[in-house]
Amino acid sequence: DVELTQSPLSLPVPLGQPASFSCRSSRYLVYSTGQTFLNWFHQRPGQSPRRLIYEVFRRDSGVPDRFSGSGSGTEFTLNITRVEAEDVGVYYCMQATHWPFNFGQGTKLEIK
């Protein structure tokens, strides 16, 4: 099974500062079609998770452009250029290249 390791587990960031989330996979996540099924989700406290990014870098409709995804192979990153109060919560990466599909353990973003 693929292991997804997210770091850090906790990320205190001042408002207006950048934030970076890492997701490392134990296997290459390139599928036979050439697509890389690495998605990012955000879950605010008490709310349902919502997808932010799919296929490494494709931003969902309505997601602010301060969010961006990058990476390839086994190393992936979600970046926020300037953290806002509404960005608090847990960020999960998910791989759907190799069955069983799975999630990382999450990184908790808090305002410092």
Q: Does residue 50 bind other proteins (CB under 8 A)?
A: yes
| Least gap, CB of 48 to other proteins (angstroms) | 5
Q: Which of residues 81-110 bind other proteins (CB under 8 A)?
A: 92, 94, 96-97, 99-106
Residues linked to residue 102 through DSSP beta bridges, in sequence order: 95
Q: Does 57 bind other proteins (CB under 8 A)?
A: no
CA distance 88 to 26: 27
- Alpha-carbon gap, residue 83 to 97, rounded angstroms: 30
25 vs 97, beta carbon nearer other proteins: 97
Does 39 interact with other proteins (rule: CB under 8 A)?
A: yes
Residue 27 CB burial class (10 angstroms; 0-12, 13-18, ≥19): middle
Which tokens sit at 10?
């906790």
Binding stretches for other proteins (CB under 8 A)? 31, 37, 39, 41, 48-51, 54-55, 92, 94, 96-97, 99-106
